[in-house]
Amino acid sequence: MEISGASAIVTGGASGLGAATCRLLADYGVKVVVADLQEGPGQDVANEIGGTFVRTDVVEAEDVIAAIEGARAQGPLRILVNCAGIAYAQRTIGRDGSFATAHDLGAFTKVISVNLIGTFNCIRLAASEMSRSEPLADGERGVIVNTASVAAFEGQIGQAAYSASKGGIVGMTLPIARDLSVVGIRVNTIVPGLLDTPIYGTGEAGEQFKQRLSHDLLFPLRLGRPDEYASLVLEIVRNSYMNAAVVRVDGGVRLQPK
């Protein structure tokens, strides 16, 4: 797909995978809307790439529509990359077996809301906008790239909420691709492994956690870089024959229970 001069929305674009994706798309002539709740970092990324920052809560329709309007003002919306997400860890039951120490239901609901429902909310609205645009070659109007996680397949102890949310993204990839095929919109999902992003925390505790995770890697023996995720996004966007795919980028990792 020809992308120069088109506009894109990248949710979670203020940091990590999203920021790397914003930078790479901008390098290829895309006008990028950085859609994030983090106003300072989000505006910094937008200023760096000549894009636009729109404060966006992905579960709020009005916020997502504002991001779409920001994209429309710069060029036809052809690209949506869903990177926004949160993590939470807690075992399903507590050590004492009491109701009070069972997994926090509010936290479970929040993770599903942001990661899964938020992704779908952005898809349904952005795809509606794309469907009204002029088609390119082969009738293509746009492409959507979602972000799941290897936890969708190998969730570790305490990852029930996170794994459920990411598994849902994997599960809805094909039916949504089928839904949107009639208007020439492709849908694919990237399944990152252990990529070095703020989701693992910062400081000594964060570094120790990442070191423990890296034991399960095959090669290379390091956490992945956000730019390695972004390069896959670019390939999916530009390669018009990639559709309804779920693609791992994970250094061959297969996570153990803990």
| 162 a catalytic residue | yes
- Cα separation values, 145 from 106, 123, 160, 201, 244, Å: 28, 9, 24, 25, 10
- Cα separation values, 93 from 159, 246, 258, Å: 12, 32, 16
Residue whose C-alpha is closest to residue 241's, from 176, 188, 179: 188
Contact 118, 59 (CB under 8 A): yes
- Cα separation values, 247 from 161, 203, 215, 230, Å: 22, 31, 22, 13
Q: Show the tokens assigned to 220.
A: 């290379």
Task: Let me know how long the chain is.
Answer: 258
Residue tagged 């469907």 (tokens)? 131
Indicate the SS3 state at residue 91: coil
Indicate the SS3 state at residue 87: coil
Q: Which of 28, 88, 162, 229 is catalytic?
A: 162
Active-site residues: which are they?
162
